Structure 1
């Protein structure tokens, strides 16, 4: 098969690769659409030791089952099903979790990928492969919102970052009953793009109201300046939900969080039930028309990564097509 292979920092090659060897009889999926995630970009820049070269990246996948031709979207998180966290329904915390695009599982920037049966969600005919591939990034936001609601938080809400994680979180907030949602995006090209399409308010970092209105702040970027902004803008008694993995240190105002009883929730991926719930919400239209993607051939993947790196891409998500 053909695949886009990570060779080292800022180096990708479109080349022949071995067909996937199914583990435990898992179905092989012919990839129709696969999204570029921020974590793929971290690996591409050489910032993720969990993804050593050479490796096929990509985990936001929709395609066709090789054994039946059925249309599916893929939950890329493979869990054991037996540990304490899996038994409690918190399988995203599984002690032996794996995800495609990290060893030992190759990713979806390829013509084929293999996942266990339980990781496949059927896709109805009215949903395109490009839309179905958005289930994974949106599920991250869906889970984050569910965590905030479980902590007792309600709107108004602020989302920091206009990539797919932030957009998915904003859509998930509205789908889960929070109507007053503002999204912050500093890139003028992307901000303009979102303002033409979004069902929520889009603004720039310097224009966010600093009046203590935001009971929920979701940081979809996860770097020191965005954590500082979240710390400053969350209301007393509010909740910061931290999805982004941009960097690991700095930014949080621990004194303010302590004095004003602000909760901080770190969140990684989603449970299998969150993924299914996200897919259901997508399929019945509760997350909008999902038209905020740009598509390119997988063979042009190296250029797509470079364009994202330069800030030249307006759409929150680039979908690659094998």
Structure 2
């Protein structure tokens, strides 16, 4: 087996960045034990090893993936030892987080210092598989995530991550907004790898956090025809506030007819599926013009079906999207800093404490989903 290096020259997880040993000190963390079993408990504080950086989380977002694991999992979280981390549930949650550097491991680059404000890119990858060798760490055949697959998570008082996972923040990007970089990077990456051009019309299925991230990514690129399909009245308003030019309701409107009406009778160039529901995808395919593309960002809970002829006869394309690649975090951070993602802060709809995650976080997202975009959990560095 060859030894790969990351693009910044550091060694990937499979070589130097082994899980940090634990200390005898205790810390608080939110741990996922299984379906509907989330606990705020004491665990061992991790120790910072060679090539690693220890971070005190400042703010951590609760992701839809976290919620799906809680409601019906474990599915993403390993129940047999993860091929890279070696861990299984129970695991500390939280993969959308910012923080303050509190310790540097041996061999970490001199550019870092204790007290630096940072955001963590949580992808875990082996560095050796074909996808990693091609630079596609998001498609690693053994991949995982900090906060879902092991190595701690942002819903804790301390976390240790490999150096390559840490990105420094400009002075004008707050630690709270920085916790949104991860979900914003998903939408940014989807637009990046899609065939979208500035003159194109776009349909977005779903006005949740990822749908809003796609809207913002498209606005930052100058798109002048963004159509959003959404049922919830509150999320319709969010879509408008974040820059959608047209918002339609699939329970009231004929989506295919309405989209064609808005697009000179031909349909949109690109559709982004951020909802992952069969009726939405069925309508989106037919709402795409000839040689247009359906871009799937949603994580589907069930097997989806489609009719190949709907793609063949109009030469439409289908593209799957997997999170983000190296470079996307930097681009999102820069876009927040220079004002292109000027609405990012509006995604924060609620702020809670670490000991409130279950009732004020997960329960709120289950029972008051339509009124929430992103709930942030305050970390110990913000106290």
Give the TM-score, by structure 1 length.
0.91
What CA distance in whole angstroms lies between the structure 2 residues aligned with 1:252 and 1:139?
Answer: 28
What CA distance in whole angstroms lies between the structure 1 residues aligned with 2:366 and 2:300?
Answer: 14
Q: Which residue of structure 1 aligns with residue 373 of structure 2?
A: 316
Q: Which residue of structure 2 aligns with residue 255 of structure 1?
A: 309
Q: Which residue of structure 2 aligns with residue 156 of structure 1?
A: 201
Q: Which residue of structure 1 aligns with residue 102 of structure 2?
A: 66
> Does residue 293 of the first structure (1) align with residue 339 of the second (2)?
no
Segments of structure 2 that go 5 or more residues without pairing to the other structure are 1-26, 80-88, 104-113, 261-265
SS at match of 1:149: coil
Q: CA deviation at 1:122?
A: 0.8
Give the TM-score, by structure 2 length.
0.77
**8 Å CA contact retained: 2:96, 2:179:** yes
Query: Aligned pair in 2 of structure 1 residues 227, 47: CA closer, same or farther (>3 Å)?
Result: farther
Match of 2:280 among 222, 226, 237: 226
User: Looking at CA atoms only, which structure, 1 or 2, has the larger radius of gyration?
Assistant: 2
What CA distance in whole angstroms lies between the structure 2 residues aligned with 1:10 and 1:246?
Answer: 20
Q: Which residue of structure 2 aligns with residue 4 of structure 1?
A: 30
Q: Which residue of structure 1 aligns with residue 358 of structure 2?
A: 302
Match of 1:181 among 206, 226, 230: 226
Q: CA deviation at 1:265?
A: 0.3
Q: CA deviation at 1:293?
A: 0.8
**8 Å CA contact retained: 2:92, 2:150:** no
Q: Which residue of structure 2 aligns with residue 200 of structure 1?
A: 244
Q: Which residue of structure 2 aligns with residue 100 of structure 1?
A: 146
> Does residue 109 of the first structure (1) align with residue 155 of the second (2)?
yes
Match of 1:16 among 26, 42, 45: 42
Residue by residue over 1:75-102, the C-alpha shift from the partner in whole angstroms, topping out at 9 and shown as x without a partner, is: 1013344544334332212233331123
Segments of structure 1 that go 5 or more residues without pairing to the other structure are none
State the number of aligned residues: 320
Match of 2:66 among 14, 26, 40: 40
**8 Å CA contact retained: 1:31, 1:113:** yes
Q: CA deviation at 1:14?
A: 1.6
RMSD: 2.1
Q: CA deviation at 1:242?
A: 0.3
SS at match of 2:259: coil
